[in-house]
Structure 1
Amino acid sequence: MSEKKYSFITIFTYGLVLFSPIAFVRVFQANPSQIIQLTTLAYFLGAALMIAYRLKSQTFELEKRQKKLLITVLIGIVGIPASLVLQMIILQIEQRFLGEPIASQNTQNIVQLIRNNMIFILATTIAGPLMEEFVFRRAIFGSLEKRFGFLLPALVSSLLFAFAHNDGHYLLYAGLGFLFCGMYRYTGRIWTSMITHVGMNLLVILTQLALQS
C-alpha cells in the first residue's frame, strides 16, 4: 500500500469512528449506555483496521532508521512521566498567560462517560491513543516528513491533533503532539509514541476517577 493510499484510508477510518455515535443514535436509536458500548466497539475496530493498514503499507522514510526494540520500549516508558511533566508546565502557562482553566473539559467529559459505563475506559486509554498515533503521527507527520523535514510536518500534525480535541487547551495538545512526533522520528517506530500516549492517558484518567470518587 502506497503512502498516499495508507494516509487517506487511515484518516478516513478515523473520521468514521469519530462520527459513529451519531449513526448509532439515528440508525439504531441506541440509548446512552448502548451508545457508549457501541462506540467502544467502534474504537477497537478502528484501531484493529489501522494496525492492518500499517502492516500492509510501505515503510516510511523515517522508519528506515529504526532504533533497537529495547530502546524503543524504554523511551516509550520514560516518555510517560515526561509527558505528564510537560502537561503540568503547559497548563501553568495556559492558566497564567491565556486565562485557560487547569481542568480540561475534554478529560472531564471522558471521565463522566467512563463513570456511566466503565467499558469506555478501554476506548480512551487503549484504542483511542492507538488510532491518534496512526492518524496524527504516522499518516500525517510520517507521510510529510520525507519531503518537508521535521519542523513543518510536526507543527501541522500537532495543530490538527490539538484542534481535534477542541476544548480550549490547544497549546497543551499541540505540545504533546510535538513530543510524540519527536519520539516517533527519533526511534523510527510508531510504537514508541503509542506506549507513552497509552500510559499517559491511563494515568490521567485513573487519577481523575480517583479524585472524583
Structure 2
Amino acid sequence: MGILLVAGSVAGTVGLVSARDRTVPMYVAKEDISFGEPVDASRLEVVDVRLDGTQEHYLPAGREPAAGTRANTLIRAGELVPLRGLGLDDGTTRKPVAVELEQTLPAAVVPGSRVDVWAAARDRTANAYGRPVILLPSAEVAAVSAVDSGFGGTSGAVVELLVEDDRMADLLAAVANEARVTVVHNPAGPASTGTGS
C-alpha cells in the first residue's frame, strides 16, 4: 500500500510539472512591424512558448494572417502577434476575432465564406439561455480550426471572423458574459467586404 501511495504521489507530481512546462507554437515577429505595415507569414516565425491559458489573445502557428492584413500597432521583433493588433487594408475597419464554439461547423464554413452569428444570453437564475438574437449578419470567415477534446474526438471549433469596429462591442460582450454563440452558414451572403448591417 505504501509503495502504491508513493508511486501515485510521484506520478501526480510529474504530471503537474509536465502540465506547467507545456508549450504551444505561436507566431512572433521576425523584425519590427510598424503601424500600417503588411503582416504575412514571411515576416513571422514560429516559436514554442508557455502562455498559461492566454494564447487566445495571440496569433497561433498554423493560422496565417488573412490576405491584406496590416498592423494596427507597433509589433516589436520577437514579440507575440496580438490579434487585436491586426486589421485589414480593404477600406473597412474589420479586424479578425477568434470565437470558440461548442458546436462543430458544417463543411461549407471555410475561409472566405459567410456566416450569421447568433447569441443567446445566459440566464443564471434559471440556469438556461434566452431567445437567440443575431449579432453579425453575413460575417466573413477568415479561418476555422477544430477543438480537440483530448479523448480521441472533437468538442467544437474556433472560427476567426472579420468584424467591423461598430459590431465589435456586441460580440465581445456576448463572449465575456458566456452567451451561447452559434454560427450558421449563410450561402446568400454578399461577396463584398463588410459584415452586413
TM-score range, shorter chain: under 0.3
**TM-score normalised by L of structure 1:** 0.25
Where is the helix percentage greater, Structure 1 or Structure 2? 1
**TM-score normalised by L of structure 2:** 0.26
Where is the strand percentage greater, Structure 1 or Structure 2? 2
Computing the radius of gyration over CA atoms, which structure comes out larger, 1 or 2? 2
Larger RCO of the pair (alpha carbons < 8 Å, separation 6+): 1
